Structure 1
Amino acid sequence: MLCYRLTDFHPEMLVLFKLLPVLLFFPLLLVQSLDPAFNDDVLGLIVFKAGLTDPLSRLTSWNEEDDSACNWVGVRCDQDTNRVSELILDGFSLSGHLGRSLIRLQFLRVLQLSRNNFSGSVNPILAQIPSLQVIDLTENSLSGFIPEELFQQCGSLNSISLAKNNLTGSIPPSLSSCSNLERLNFSSNRLSGQLPSGLWSLSSLRLLDLSDNLLEGEIPRGIESLYNLRAINLRRNNFVGWLPENIGNCLLLKSVDFGENYFTGTLPLSMRKLSVCRYLDASRNLLTGEFPDWIGEMRSLEFLDLSVNNFSGRMATTVGNLQSLKQVNLSSNRFVGSLPESFGNCVNLKVLDVGQNLFSGNLPSWVFKLALESVSLSANRYSGTISFPAPLLQSYQSLELLDLSSNALTGGVPSAIGNFSRLQALNISRNSLAGSIPASVGELNTTSVLDMSHNQLSGSIPAEIGGAVSLQELRLESNFLTGAIPADIGNCSSLTSLVLSRNNLSGPVPVAIASLSNLELLDLSFNNLSGSLPKELTNLSHLDTFNASFNHLQGELPVGGFFNTIPLSSVIGNPSLCGSIVKHSCPAVHPKPLVLNPNSSVSNHGPLSPNLRHKRIVLSVSSLVAIGAAVFIAVGVVTVSILNMHARTSMARSAAAFTFSGGDDFSPSHDTEANYGKLVMFSGEVDFVTGAQSLLNKDCELGRGGFGAVYRTELQGGRSIAIKKLNTTSLVKCQEDFEREVKKLGKIRHQNLVALEGYYWTPSLQLLINEYISGGSLHKHLHDRESAGCLTWQQRFKIILGTAKGLAHLHQLNVIHYNMKSTNVLMDFSGEPKVGDFGLARLLPALDRYILSSKIQSALGYMAPEFACQTVKITEKCDVYGFGVLTLEVLTGRRPVEYMEDDVVVLCDMVREALDEGRIEECIDKKLEGKYPMEEAIPVVKLGLICASQVPSNRPDMEEVIRILELIQCPTESQEELE
């Protein structure tokens, strides 16, 4: 007899077991019902409910004893047929799977299950509901592929949203058969692959949202066929190439978002036809060209964001035609000149951000005449003074954020600053402002951030500062402020950051600071503060950063609270401070008693006389041991030197065994080759200064890699060369093939490639003789702590561009490097990079890629993923991948893979995540200390990421890389400012 457990059955079979009593009385229900079809709806929904978890009991009204579902919560019926037409369960907190039971709802038109926790895959059974028009599964936990079958019978479907799930795979090509589809939203998933060209056949489409996925490749042609399209959003994907050329033919478009991709080229000219477009976002791409004159024809535009691109030139005056404009963001480009006065015609403008450009001249006066809410002109070249010309300035009642930082502004801080009654953040740092801080800052009672740091402000901090009661962050560091810290600052009870360092402040640290209970950062370093630190500071329970170093503080350090764990660096430079942290006993603590030498024969009751002091110098046992050890070491050194001299003499005799040949004819000396091997120098230089003994001398070893060790030696003229001993002897081709490939590599010459100058051959030993590069490897410059100095931004850009040129030259000659990494990029005396170790795989026979990858396993993190796939061809694109990783390594100063105690950090993943979250500046090498142009850094980061794409076809070739890098580079004058 067969026995079954309930767990052996399919979940829906278990539901049928539960419904067995209902099914037994099913005939009776049919008699009681006017239309037997009613029970299809009831049964379908009851089975659907049985497979769900309903933590809020929202479905309690669903009763299997009812003969109609029309009165149930979330259920709507058609008035003519009384069949279920809509199932709307948005935000019910339901969980479970989308079971097959929904197929019973054959008259269902709307299925809305958004904002729940449904899991599993999207059930293709939904395609068998012929009347279904709307599918909304937004914001659930669905996973897996979107099934191809879902769209094979979708003639009635006009809206589908699978947004905010965990779906993977590509967009099914069958989607093109949904000819009536008007709304398509697959955003915020992990969809990948390229857009199917059939997407443009959906001529009824009004909304297309594929944002926040992993889609890639170029946008297919034909978008102009979507003549009903109102909104398109492809934001935050990995698309490349040019923006759709004919997008302007979609005349009804009101919203266009192509932001955060890798698009290149300019804005399509056809966009000028989008006269009803209100929203245009092409930010965070690699777009170039000038600000288009035709932008003024997009008269309905309300939102314009072209930030973080490579746009250049002057702003077009036609921007003044955009009188509906409310928000403009042109930051992080290379715009020059001044903002056009016609901007003053944009009377509805609320937000203006043109930071991190090359704008110059005086601050535009119209900025403060409009009723703006947020203004950022930071990191430009504005000069002159800050002035607010009109007493009835509209901005006084509207402005909430004003950022004028990092310019060349002079003059004082206007006292009218206090008139901004709604100001929440004011940043005028990193200018050349002088004079005193006006007392009117106390009137900024809505301001949470006030930053006047890095200026030339003098005078004292006004006591009125205590009136700015909403302050959370106050930064006044790096000025010439004098006087005492006002006790009134204690009234700013919301302060979390107080930075007053690098001024000339004097007097004591006010006890009132201890009342700032929310304080997290307190920096008073590099001032002239005196007195003792208030013991009440230990009550600051949220404080995690404290610095009072380099002042004239004295007395005992407080004990308790954060003072128990602060580092010495927090209080260093205060000679009169005492306590355990500074390892200086306070006066109240008695010094340790004097302990005399117990072995002395002199009485301990009196001091030694001068004569006895000279006579009683006795060597201790430890001293004798040390002296003996030193003698032993000296003898050892002499012995080793004698042995070395003997070894060198022996090796010098063997130098004659090498056969030399010069020039390109590769002619051997036959009488000695069979016994001793063959040495060929392409240049004709044949003698080594010290003979063969330096060829493989351990003391001359420069480094080791996947293909062998490298040694340094000298030719007779004193010129150094680098000799690579191949450790792949068992894999090297026969002598004829080896020499043929070496000859090809020896003819490659480029300023960014290490020249191969010769070789040595025996069946058991192969040496490659290379140009010697004195500056060491790029890896050493980036990661060796003992390496002198830090690479500047200009040096790093030069390294990236030079490396790209070297690789491009190799690829023109059909040579694949195979082993691209920072240890194989060498630096010459002028800072020019030279790529070495190229083409070494050509010296080996045809290898299985797994053998080859094992030979270069030291390149972990640089290796393209196709090395792990037997069916994918290895091409130049694997070098492009390694170059992309190397680019990110140069920018961040971090290794491609870093092993933490309980985690592994992959550089590409870390940088991509930071870029997606808009915090890329956190990844740039901290050694640069912010001395780099963000308008160059972000595009180079993006270029590195696209070169390190997982899909080889998405990576550009090296010639394209060079063109993009040359477009990214800033004008010379902006570089000089950063040096």
Structure 2
Amino acid sequence: MKKKMKRPSPSCSCSISLLLLYSSLIFLSSSLSVAFPVQLNDDVLGLIVFKSDLVDPSSSLESWSEDDDFPCSWPFVLCEPSTSRVTELHLDGLGLSGKIGRGLQKLQHLKVLSLSGNNFTGTSISPGLTLPSNLQRLNLSNNGLSGRIPTSLINMSSIAFIDLSGNSFSGPLPDDFFTGCLSLRYISLADNMLEGPIPSTLSSCSLVNNLDFSNNRFTGIPNFASGFWTMQRLRVLDLANNRLSGSVPSGVPALHNLKQLILKGNQFSGPLPADLGLCPHLCVLDFSNNLFTGELPESIQRLNFLTSLSFSSNLLTGDFPDWIGNMTSLESIEFSRNRFTGSLATSMANLQALKLLSISENGITGSIPSSLVSCSKLSVIRLRRNSLTGQIPENLFNLGLEEVDISNNALVGSIPAGASKFLYSLQILDLSGNNLTGVIPEEMGLFSSLRYLNLSWNKLHSKIPSEFGYFQNLTILDLRNNGFYGSIPGDICNSGSMGILQLDGNSFTGPIPEEIGNCSSLYLLSLSHNHLSGPIPNSLSTLSNLRILKLEFNELIGEIPQSLGKLENLLAVNMSYNRLIGRLPTGGIFPSLDESALQGNLGICSPLLSGPCQMNVPKPLVLDPYAYGNQIDGHKDRDGESSSSSLHHHVFLSVSAIVAISAALLIACGVIAITVLNASARRRLAFVNAALESMCSSSSRSGSLASGRLIMFDSKSASHESISNPQALLNKASEIGEGVFGTVYKVPLGVQGRIVAIKRLITSTLTQYQEDFDREVRVLGKARHPNLISLRGYYWTPQQQLLVTDYTPNGSLQSKLHERLPSTPPLSWAVRFKIIVGTAKGLSHLHHSIRPPIIHYNLKPSNILLDENFNPKIADFGLARLLTKLDRHVMSNRFQSAPGYVAPELACQSLRVNEKCDVYGFGILILELVMGRRPVEYGEDNVVILCDHVRALLEQGNVLDSVDLSMGEYPEDEVLPVLKLALVCTSQIPSSRPSMAEVVQILQVIRTPVPHRMDAF
């Protein structure tokens, strides 16, 4: 079928005619040098040509006509009245697209061109376009323009205002970009993808008063001393969210007119400029999310007009300043995530304009000053993760607060009641991780605006108030680990907006309410570690958004509803340690559940469980033919004899049944008795043998095992091979690695020379007796999994202990990630993801398939070995079991050999090694694999903690810009969820970290089933 050619519109035809006519006139005048009397209006012609390159979906420019003598009456066009020449063109927000064409070059008197908020994309600017030399204001902001900024576009000698923000311009700026910018007053290149250093010629723009380069990718060390500090007209300097580094020297007072100084979200380091307080007009000062160190300069207190002060997420130290109360203009104080100490100043009562107070994650001690009640405009309080003590000030909840987060402190007492203003204004309340006692105030259920309520990890003891059903906007309710009791209210989800409901670790009783199905928005439901009974309600299957369901450690009975298999979005389920029976649902996540999610039930039918399988099969229905007494074979007995006979026969059958049942019981009891006697005899025989063996070896506790022999667990290997001189095998030439627990050697073993890895253990704190050593090593030897290094045997003498394991030809992840030779190709994303998943499965096996669980304790890249197919195999797991105690030597070596991998609870508190420590280390391993950087990096003036760095990048929305470029292309829909999972695993609070079984389930869901990616596995 032939396509019909579209006939040009009349306006288009006229435009083409004019262009041809104009071209002909130019050609003739240049050829014949003849002056023609015909004079075309350049502005009309230029605008019509410009319009012809545009796509105008709303026909906003329809009235522009080439038949007009002048364009001054056209919409969006302004002219100079005396000359009728176009001086301003304002086409903002009209949805225009197409080309920004050369017709604009004809507008020789144009001073203002504004095309912001349209749909110009890509390289929509015509190549070589040069705007009129008189242009003073250019605004192309909030479009989709990309590529390099055309340097021919702007005449720097005349331009005063440039706004190119909100596009996708990329690449570096030429160093001479700002040459001749003597007229420039305002420039904004914010929200693009510009990179490289900031041009040094910028310092010549001495009249600039507003400079905004925020949210780009500029790098390097800016020249403050002879650059920015020389631009004395500056009122706004915004370099936020780039990759700038270095120190910020003194010299700020030169910017006498400066009102806003914003350097947040970079990598600036060193001390803060001591003279910050000498800029008298400063009203916004934001140095957050950098690496600044030292104390706050006292000169800051001289900034009498300062309204916003932010130093969050740095490495600042010293006491919280007492002089803060003198800065009465402050509306916002943000000092979170630093190392401030001391107590909060009581003088903050003077801050009558204060609206936001954020000092979370520091070392602040003492109590919350009651003087804060005087800050009548206060709406946000964030004091989480400090060491605050005492009670919550009684009148604090009388303010019109919108957000209160004082979680993870050491506060005591009860939750104060809130005034009516508090009830209607509060949106976020987080009091978790304290020692609060008492009950939940009943009026809390009347908080009409409340969206987030977290009272977990306290000592509250009450029922859930019935008023909780009145919540209209609540999306997150977390009451974990308190002493709440009674039943779960059926109307707890009446608002319909509940997304997270966590009631774990309480004493709730009764059934899960059927009304839970009203929680249509719920995606996390966690009711574990309670005393809930009854069946799992079928209404759970209506929660189509549900992602995580945790019901473990309750007293639930019956079968798991088959309808739960229809929940396609379900990612993680745990129903262990209940009284559930029957078949698993056949759909959804249930066929792939891990054993840990089901164990501890009475009779769930699953190949993962070894217990009995019980089904809710109804008993067969047996009809008693004599139940109707007067009817036999359809005939009635006249004299009643048949009735008597039937009754006698019925009694006889009942007695027979009783006799048969009794006989069966006697036989069963006999079988059981014989079995018990046999087992008892076997135990007595084993006891006698053990006693004889003990008597024979009483002189030497280790005499029952051959000292100095190589004990192999696999009978097919060399079983008991003597090693008379282990030093002959373990020489320096065969050494391939060294760690906290000893040195590793590559050794040929046996007649066939099979290559194995032998670890020579440290002996200072190992178990003293070979029997103990043998018992612990054999436990580790039974831990077999495709992602674990198999322990094959051991060698023991009082002076020398060796472990024999499989050898992996591709070495360790450490060598492939950080010690790679230039000739070795880097790890691709497919391989890295395989390593992440395999490591998670290996750890999950150690934690959930072995009882008691084996804790790795020393997870790091050097302990992740790679086989010939780059499958990960975890080494050195459970070696802490061989130590009599975790002495200081081992602990200090652990911290030095794996900086960043040690869970914070081990570094800051008494030793509590558990599975959550391994989960933390696994999260760090993910970050190291994805970002290609070490967990802790030491620079000349700063220290970068990878975990905190990635968390900050994620909050800024540019975390994908920092992934390891060496791995080549990668799917964002996999990398981003994996990074988020890593940050959850590295939560500072151990209970907030998922289990490794849950991690495996989440990773299996993250994996995108694209065929060419699957081939890489």
For the aligned pair, the TM-score class normalised by the smaller chain equals: 0.5 to 0.7
- 1:36–1:245: structure 2 CA closer, same or farther, 3 Å change rule? farther
Within a 5 Å distance, the mapping from 1:732-811 to structure 2 comes to 778-780=861-863, 784-785=873-874, 787-788=876-877
Other structure's SS at 1:313 match? coil
The equivalent residue for 1:377 is 383
Q: Indicate yes or no: 2:274 matched with 1:269.
A: yes
Q: Distance in 2 between matches of 1:26 and 1:369?
A: 75
2:394 alignment partner, one of 388, 391, 397: 388
* Pair 1:294–1:149, CA change in 2 (3 A): same
Distance 1:37 1:364, change over 3 A: farther
Instruction: Give the Cα–Cα distance (whole angstroms) in 2 for the partners of residues 182 and 564 of structure 1.
Output: 59
Question: Helix, strand or coil: the match of 1:700?
Answer: strand
More displaced, 281-290 or 568-577? 568-577
How far is 1:361 from its partner?
A: 0.8
**Counterparts of 1:252 and 1:28, CA distance in 2:** 56
| Residue of structure 1 in register with 2:851 after alignment | none
Cα distance between partner residues in 1 of 2:427 and 2:859: 51
Residues 1:358 and 2:417 aligned together: no
Cross-structure match for 2:825: none
Matched, 1:513 2:596: no
After the TM superposition, which residues 224-623 of structure 1 pair with which residues of structure 2 at under 5 Å, given as runs? 224-371=229-376, 372-389=378-395, 396-416=398-418, 420-421=422-423, 422-560=425-563, 569-576=573-580, 578=582, 580-581=584-585, 582-583=604-605, 585-589=614-618
Residues 281 and 696 of structure 1, relative CA distance in 2, 3 Å threshold: farther
Residue 84 of structure 2: which of 50, 57, 82 is its match?
A: 82
The residue number in structure 2 matching 1:855 is: none
Q: Is 1:694–1:713's contact at 8 Å kept on the other side of the alignment?
A: no
Q: Which residue of 2 aligns with 1:924?
A: 983
Question: Which of 751, 755, 766 is matched with 1:699 structurally?
Answer: 755
Q: Does the CA contact (< 8 Å) of 2:54 and 2:100 recur in 1?
A: no
2:68 alignment counterpart = 66
User: Following TM superposition, by how much is the alpha carbon of 1:48 offset from its aligned partner in structure 2, in angstroms?
Assistant: 1.3
The CA deviation at 1:124 is 7.3
Distance 1:187 1:296, change over 3 A: same
2:44 to 39, 42, 45: 42
Secondary structure at the aligned position of 1:77 is classed as strand
State the Cα RMSD in Å.
Answer: 5.5
Contact 2:220–2:244 (Cα < 8 Å) also in 1: yes
Q: Distance in 2 between matches of 1:55 and 1:309?
A: 49
Structure 1 residue identity aligned to 2:78: R
Q: How many Å separate the matches in 2 of 1:388 and 1:109? A: 62
- Say whether residues 1:167 and 2:190 are aligned partners: no
TM-superposed deviation, 1:29: 12
Q: Residue 841 of structure 2 aligns with which residue?
A: none
**Residues 531-565 of structure 1, C-alpha deviations (whole Å, 9 max, x = no match):** 23444443344434333332222234444356666
What SS does the aligned partner of 1:21 have? helix
Mark the CA change 1:559 to 1:237 in structure 2 (over 3 Å): closer, same or farther.
same
Contact 2:269 2:291 in 1 (8 A): yes
Matches of 1:892 and 1:131 in 2, distance apart? 47
CA distance in 1, matches of 2:547, 2:897: 44
Q: Report the 3-state secondary structure (helix = DSSP H, G, I; strand = E; otherwise coil) of the residue aligned with 1:45.
A: helix
Query: What are the residue-to-residue correspondences of 1:659-678 with 2, within 5 Å?
Result: none
Residues 1:713 and 1:67: Cα distance change in structure 2 (over 3 Å):
farther
Paired position in structure 1 for 2:59: 57
Report the 3-state secondary structure (helix = DSSP H, G, I; strand = E; otherwise coil) of the residue aligned with 2:429.
strand
Q: In the superposition, relative to structure 1, how do residues 107 and 269 fare at CA in structure 2: closer, same or farther (>3 Å)? A: same
Identity of aligned residues (%): 31
Distance 1:158 1:98 in 2: 21
The 8 Å contact of residues 122 and 144 in structure 2, kept in 1 or not, is answered as yes
Structure 1 residues 690 and 49: CA distance shift in structure 2, 3 A: closer
Distance 1:331 1:127, change over 3 A: same
Q: Using a 3 Å threshold, how does the CA distance of structure 1 residues 225 and 927 change in structure 2: closer, same or farther?
A: closer
Bigger shift: 262-271 or 205-214? 262-271
Q: CA deviation at 1:640?
A: 7.6
RCO greater where, 1 or 2, for CA within 8 Å and sep 6 or more?
1
2:18 aligned with 1:22: yes
Show the 5 A alignment for 1:674-689: none
1:252 deviates by 0.5
Question: Could you say which residue in structure 2 is the equivalent of 1:665?
Answer: none
Once the 2 structures are TM-superposed, how far is the Cα of residue 641 of structure 1 from its aligned partner?
5.2
Measured after TM superposition, the shift of residue 271 of structure 1 is: 1.6
Q: CA deviation at 1:273?
A: 1.4
Pair 481,713 (structure 1): closer, same or farther in 2 beyond 3 Å: closer
Spell out, residue by residue over 1:619-665, the C-alpha distance to the aligned partner (whole angstroms, 9 max, x if none). xxxxxxxxxxxxxxxxxx999859x999x99x99xx99xxx9x9xxx
In 1, the alpha carbon distance for the partners of 2:580 and 2:65 equals 82
Question: Any idea what SS the aligned residue of 1:924 has?
Answer: helix
TM-score normalised by L of structure 2: 0.61
Structure-2 change in CA distance of 1:27 and 1:714 (3 Å): closer
The answer to whether 1:196 aligns with 2:199 is: yes
- What is aligned with 1:91? 93
* 1:926 counterpart letter in structure 2: C
Please state how far the C-alpha of 1:692 moved relative to its aligned partner: 9.5
Q: Helix, strand or coil for the counterpart of 1:216?
A: strand
The answer on 1:101 being equivalent to 2:106 is no
Letter in 1 for 2:756: C
Contact 1:103/1:125 (CA < 8 Å) preserved in 2?
no
Residues 686-733 of structure 1 deviation map (CA, whole Å, 9 limit, x = unaligned): xxx999989995433479xxxxxxxx9999x969999xx9x99xxxxx
Q: 1:558 & 1:208 partners in 2: Cα distance?
A: 62
1:28-50 Cα shifts (integer Å, max 9, x gaps): 999xxx99776211111111111
- Native 8 Å contact 1:796 1:890 kept in 2: no
What secondary structure, in the 3-state scheme, does the structure 2 residue paired with 1:276 have?
coil
**Higher mean C-alpha displacement, 254-263 vs 547-556:** 547-556
Alpha carbons of structure 1 residues 267 and 442: separation in structure 2 relative to 1, 3 Å: same
Q: Deviations over 1:62-98 (max 9, x none)?
A: 2122221212222111112111111111111111222
Offset of residue 790 of structure 1: 12
User: Which whole-Å CA distance do the structure 1 matches of 2:510 and 2:477 have between them?
Assistant: 20
In structure 2, the CA distance between the partners of 1:780 and 1:78, relative to structure 1 (3 Å rule), is same
Unaligned runs of 5+ in 1: 1-6, 8-14, 592-605, 614-636, 663-676, 680-688, 704-711, 729-773, 806-830, 832-858, 865-878, 894-903, 935-979
C-alpha separation between the residues in 2 aligned to 1:66 and 1:486? 75
Q: Distance in 1 between matches of 2:308 and 2:192?
A: 26
Q: Deviations over 1:323-343 (max 9, x none)?
A: 111111111011111111122
Q: 1:575 to 1:99 in 2, by over 3 A?
A: same
Q: Please state how far the C-alpha of 1:236 moved relative to its aligned partner.
A: 0.7
How many pairs were matched up?
720
Task: Assess, with a 3 A threshold, how the Cα gap between structure 1 residues 525 and 84 changes in structure 2: closer, same or farther.
Answer: same
Distance of 1:228 and 1:696 partners within structure 2: 82
Q: Distance in 2 between matches of 1:886 and 1:376?
A: 25
- Separation of aligned partners in 2, 1:802 and 1:27: 77
Provide Cα deviations, 1:210-233, integer angstroms capped at 9, x if missing partner: 111111111113222211111011
AA partner of residue 42 (structure 2): D
Quick one: distance in 2 between partners of 1:570 and 1:713? 41
